[in-house]
């Protein structure tokens, strides 16, 4: 294309290559393009999470009062986090499931810390569209698989908080956490 | 822009003559909404809904600008500032109810306007661009309505924002970062509320701009009409002013009556009580639903409960929901029938009414809880919805035998009575009949 223009141009002198005017044209448009993109970058980036939102990134929660079969809701990044003390029956139910049959295949062991398999810590955020599933609070339905049930679109999770039925694509997310002591867990 | 017999703008007043030379704005109005715009004489009441939609937009902009003077877009005080409008601001309760119910009125009007287009084939050549711009306006309206519903920062506001922005997280790879970018955080909070307010204020003016393009594109071929037969002669038309200005005035009065009935006697009938509970990120209401005008699309979203080949159920639901509107863009090319109006298309007409019924069923299911039998009914209705556009419409347009069309609009209105004055003889059309079907 450029060569075509060069050969066609009446003021072209053989061997000169690109005309000065072509060069100025391309350089000017390129510079304007780069400038345009660099103006766009801050305009887009300003919409991402701001520093104060990112700073509120870890929480410590006391778990000493949670008896087997109970759960509490904590807050992590302004979203609920479920901390659940599984009963031996719930643990064996979770282990009895064939992992390959799951939509998001994971074992209970992969979703808990070693030696603390009864502590199931997940985000309380349905992986479908972000509602808070029921099942952590006293008296709430746990759904047909004994874990959590999302009332918005009917996603049902089992006792390892794995998706078993409904539209959600993933298991409830396990956040990064560690046990600061036997009774305190630090999330984030 | 117009037919050759259109009345010419002739300013008499010296000031208007001076104005016409400097800025011919009165001429533009005269030629668009005045005596200079000839309109088919047989337009029925369904042709009043364009002007009603414009009225609704104006109503929303006026009430919205006033509400913005009293509202505070901050997660800490937004809910209280809405209650302040309701209880303390002079006439605040009326302005807020007028705005909230105005959104519903806008969607009632626009749905009738859209289905008028489906029945009478308004999307067909030469008016494809009018239709494409109209669908664009509808998409902008949906975005505006959604963001407006978030502003009171009640429970439904918060969870609506979470669920709808959650739709974007279904997109592979970039989904989660995209959702965080849209919200400015991990969950809806102050950043999201502020930007939604900013955009909710901006978008109605963008809509107004596209409305001007919509009307501009319409006025090139001129309005369609219930017969779908193009204007052929002067006797097929009457000037917009005074005839349709008067008829539109009647429609505005009828609309105002129904609107005020809801506004003053049932102002909360279309809302959700849960939105009078302040937003609580820790607890989802037992039954979250969007506003009624999103229900058919919400039902399609929820209809996908199992993975579809390799596409996850969540992404499939999102794609289907957006496709349900995007498919409208293709209507001018999916419907190949040369006959425009459903009045002369016996088969298409039947399927049109099935589509109306299907949309109502989807709407009902979208407002119902996510449980059986509603999920299965939504699945069947969603399949039918897409089948209508992608299979039934193309096949019907190919195999259907349409009823005979009238020779002209005048004949359709006055019949073949030889004694009727103004009748255009089909064999000897008036001069200037170059406006045939494009």
In this complex, the residue of A48, A77, A132 whose CB is nearest that of residue B184 is A48
Is residue B232 annotated as a catalytic residue, yes or no? no
> What pLDDT, in 10s, does the model give residues B55-114?
999 999 999 999 999 999 999 999 999 999 999 999 999 999 999 999 999 999 999 999
pLDDT of residue B40: 95
Q: What is the mean pLDDT of residues A130-138?
A: 86
What are the pLDDT digits (tens) for B213-235? 999 999 999 999 999 999 999 99
DSSP B111-125: HHHHHHHHHHTTTST
Residue A29 CB coordination number (10 Å):
10
pTM, 2 dp = 0.86
Give the pLDDT confidence of A84-95 residue by residue, as tens digits. Answer: 888 888 888 888
B36 CB within 8 Å of a chain A CB: no
Interchain CB contact of A50 with B (< 8 Å): yes
- Residues annotated within a binding site of B for a ubiquinone: 219
Helices B374-387 and B313-326 sit at what angle, rounded to 10 degrees?
Answer: 50
> Reduced to 3 states, what is the DSSP secondary structure of residue B237?
strand
What's the whole-number average pLDDT of chain B? 91
Q: A154: distance to nearest CA of chain B, Å? A: 6
pLDDT band, very low/low/confident/very high, at B321 (cuts 50, 70, 90): very high
Angle between helices B128-150 and B190-219 in degrees, nearest 10: 160
Beta-carbon contacts of residue B75 (< 8 Å; ≥ 6 apart): B153, B189, B190, B193, B279
**Per the CB < 8 Å rule, is A154 touching B375?**
yes
Interface contact A80, partner B, CB < 8 A: yes
> B76 at the A interface (CB within 8 A)?
no
Is A175 within 8 Å of chain B by CB?
A: no
User: Smallest CA–CA separation between B306 and chain A, in Å?
Assistant: 6
- Cα–Cα distance for residue pair B37/B28, rounded to 1 Å: 10
**Tens digit of pLDDT for each residue in B367-418?**
988 778 898 999 999 999 999 999 999 999 999 999 999 999 988 888 766 5
CB B78 within 8 A of CB B72: yes
Tell me what the mean pLDDT of segment A136-142 comes to. Answer: 83
Of B166, B282, B371, the CB nearest to A73: B282
Yes or no: say if A83 and A72 are a contact pair by the CB < 8 Å rule. Answer: yes
pLDDT at residue A11, as a whole number: 52
Q: Is the pLDDT at B430 greater than 80, yes or no?
A: no
* Cβ-based contacts under 8 A for chains A and B: 95
Give me the residue spans of the domains in chain A.
Answer: 18-48, 54-187
Q: Is the dihedral of CA A127, B293, B105, B220 positive or negative?
A: positive
Global ipTM: 0.73
Q: In the 8-state DSSP scheme, what is residue B243?
A: I
| pLDDT at B435 (0 to 100) | 45
Answer yes or no: are the C-beta atoms of A109 and A99 closer than 8 Å.
no
Contact residues on chain A for B180, CB-CB shorter than 8 A: 48-49
Confidence bin at B429 (pLDDT 50/70/90): very low
Q: A131, B284: Cβ pair inside 8 Å?
A: yes
Would you state the pLDDT for residue B183?
92
Can you say whether the dihedral through the CA atoms of A47, A52, A57, A61 is positive or negative? negative
DSSP states of chain A as a string? -HHHHHHH-TT--TT--S-HHHHHHHHHHHHHHHHHHHHHHHHHHTTSPPHHHHH---EEEE-TT--TT-EEEEEETTEEEEEEE--HHHHHHHHHS-GGGSSS---HHHHSBTTBTTEEEEESS-TTT----BSSSTT---TTTEEEE-TTT--EEETT--EEESS--SPPP---EEESSSSEEEE-
What would the pLDDT profile of B284-305 be if each residue is shown by its tens digit? 887 888 999 999 999 998 888 7
Q: What's the pLDDT band for A137 if we cut at 50, 70, 90?
A: confident
Check A151 against B284: CB less than 8 A apart. yes
Subunit contact B159:A47, Cβ cutoff 8 A: no
Q: What is the number of residues in chain A?
A: 188
The single-letter DSSP state of residue B241 is: I
3-state secondary structure of B311: strand
**Is there a contact between B187 and A77 if contact means CB atoms under 8 Å apart?**
yes
Q: What is the mean pLDDT of residues B142-159?
A: 95
**Which residues does chain A have within 8 Å of residue B187's beta carbon, measured at their own beta carbons?**
77-79, 130
What would the mean pLDDT of B227-249 be, rounded to a whole number?
94
Per-residue confidence at B166, pLDDT binned at 50, 70, 90?
confident
Domain A54-187: give its CATH superfamily: Rieske [2Fe-2S] iron-sulphur domain (2.102.10.10)
Residue A167 phi, psi (nearest 5): -80, -10
Domain B36-288, classified CATH 3.30.9.10, yes or no: no
pLDDT at position B67: 97
**Cβ separation of B181 and A152 shorter than 8 Å?**
no
- B278 confidence band (pLDDT: 50, 70, 90): very high
Could you tell me if B187 and B179 are in contact, meaning their C-beta atoms sit under 8 angstroms apart?
Answer: no
What is chain B's length? Answer: 438
Residue B434 DSSP one-character state = -
Percent of chain B with pLDDT over 70: 94
What mean pLDDT comes out for the span B184-209? 95
Cβ within 8 Å, pair B184-A169: no
C-beta of residue B255 within 8 angstroms of C-beta of residue B249: no
Q: Which of B162, B232, B247, B388 is catalytic?
A: B247
What's the pLDDT score for residue B433?
42
Q: How far apart are CA B77 and CA B83, in angstroms?
A: 10
Catalytic residues of A: 153
**pLDDT for the residue numbered B363:** 96
Q: What is the pLDDT of residue B431?
A: 45
Phi, psi of A157 (to 5 degrees): -115, 150
Check CB contact of B312 with chain A, cutoff 8 Å.
yes
**Digit-coded pLDDT (tens) for A3-59:** 454 555 555 555 567 788 999 999 999 999 999 999 999 999 999 988 888 877 778
A54/chain B closest Cα distance in angstroms: 8
CA A18 to chain centroid, in Å, comes to 51
- What would the pLDDT profile of B29-59 be if each residue is shown by its tens digit? 999 989 999 999 999 999 999 999 999 999 9
Map out the domains of chain B as residue ranges. 36-288, 298-402
- pLDDT of residue B427 exceeding 50: no
Q: Which of B181, B284, B370 sits opposite A154 (nearest CB)?
A: B370
In this predicted structure, the answer to whether residue B434 has a pLDDT above a threshold of 50 is: no
- Phi, psi dihedral angles at B307 (to 5 degrees): -65, 145
Catalytic status, residue B418: no
pLDDT tens digit sequence for A144-183:
888 899 887 788 998 889 998 888 888 999 988 888 888 8
pLDDT on residue A1: 46
Cα distance between residue B245 and residue B48, in whole Å: 10
Residue of chain A nearest B305, judged by CA positions: A167
Say if residue B242 is preceded by a cis peptide, omega within 30 of 0: yes
> Beta partners for B278?
B154
Residues of B in contact with A43 (CB under 8 A): none
Q: Do A75 and B315 touch (CB under 8 A)?
A: no
Model confidence at B426: pLDDT above 60 = no
């Amino acid at each position: 294309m450029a060569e075509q223009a060069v050969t066609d141009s009446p003021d072209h002198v053989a061997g000169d290559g690109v005309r000065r005017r072509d060069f100025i044209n391309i350089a000017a448009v390129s510079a304007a393009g780069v400038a345009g993109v660099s103006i766009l970058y801050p305009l887009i980036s300003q919409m991402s999470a701001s520093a104060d939102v990112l700073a509120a990134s870890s929480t410590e929660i006391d778990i000493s009062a949670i008896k087997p079969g109970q759960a509490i809701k904590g807050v992590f990044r302004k979203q609920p986090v479920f901390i659940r003390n599984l009963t031996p029956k719930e643990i064996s139910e979770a282990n009895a499931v064939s992992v390959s049959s799951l939509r998001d295949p994971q074992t209970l062991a992969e979703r808990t810390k070693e030696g603390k398999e009864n502590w199931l810590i997940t985000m309380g955020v349905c992986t479908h569209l972000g509602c808070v599933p029921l099942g952590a609070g006293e008296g709430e339905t746990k759904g047909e698989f004994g874990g959590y049930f999302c009332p918005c679109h009917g996603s049902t999770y089992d006792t390892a908080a794995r998706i078993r039925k409904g539209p959600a694509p993933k298991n409830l997310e396990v956040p990064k956490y560690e046990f600061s002591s036997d009774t305190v867990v630090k999330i984030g | 822009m117009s037919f050759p017999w259109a009345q010419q703008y002739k300013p008499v007043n010296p000031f208007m003559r001076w104005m016409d030379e400097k800025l011919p704005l009165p001429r533009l109005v005269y030629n668009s909404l005045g005596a200079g715009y000839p309109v088919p004489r047989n337009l029925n009441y369904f042709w009043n809904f364009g002007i009603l939609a414009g009225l609704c937009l104006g109503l929303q902009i006026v009430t919205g600008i006033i509400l913005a003077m009293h509202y505070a877009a901050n997660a800490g005080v937004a809910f209280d500032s809405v209650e302040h409008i309701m209880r303390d601001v002079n006439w605040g309760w009326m302005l807020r109810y007028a705005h909230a119910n105005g959104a519903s009125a806008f969607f009632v009007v626009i749905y009738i306007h859209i289905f008028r287009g489906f029945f009478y084939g308004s999307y067909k050549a030469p008016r494809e661009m009018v239709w494409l711009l109209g669908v664009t306006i509808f998409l902008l309206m949906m975005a505006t309505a959604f963001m407006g519903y978030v502003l009171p920062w009640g429970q439904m506001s918060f969870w609506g924002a979470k669920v709808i922005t959650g739709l974007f997280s279904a997109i592979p790879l970039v989904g989660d970062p995209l959702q965080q970018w849209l919200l400015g955080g991990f969950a809806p909070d102050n950043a999201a509320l502020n930007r939604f307010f900013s955009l909710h204020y901006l978008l109605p003016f963008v809509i107004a701009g596209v409305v001007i393009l919509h009307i501009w594109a319409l006025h090139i071929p001129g309005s369609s009409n219930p017969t779908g037969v193009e204007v052929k002669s002067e006797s097929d038309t009457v000037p917009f002013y005074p005839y349709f200005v008067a008829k539109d005035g009647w429609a505005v009065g009828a609309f105002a009556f129904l609107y005020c009935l809801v506004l003053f006697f049932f102002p909360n009938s279309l809302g959700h009580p849960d939105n009078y509970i302040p937003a609580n990120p820790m607890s989802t209401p037992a039954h979250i639903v969007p506003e009624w005008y999103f229900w058919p699309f919400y039902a399609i979203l929820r209809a996908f409960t199992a993975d579809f080949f390799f596409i996850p159920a969540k992404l499939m639901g999102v794609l289907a929901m957006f496709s349900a509107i995007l498919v409208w863009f293709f209507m001018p090319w999916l419907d190949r029938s040369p006959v425009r109006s459903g009045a002369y298309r016996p088969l298409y007409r039947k399927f049109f009414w099935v589509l109306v019924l299907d949309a109502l069923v989807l709407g009902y299911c979208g407002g119902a809880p996510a449980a059986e039998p509603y999920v299965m009914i939504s699945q069947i209705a969603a399949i039918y919805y897409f089948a209508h556009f992608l299979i039934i419409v193309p096949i019907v347009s190919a195999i259907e035998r349409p009823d005979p069309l009238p020779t002209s609009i005048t004949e359709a209105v006055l019949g073949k009575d030889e004694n009727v004055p103004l009748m255009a003889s089909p064999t000897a059309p008036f001069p200037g009949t170059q406006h045939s079907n494009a």
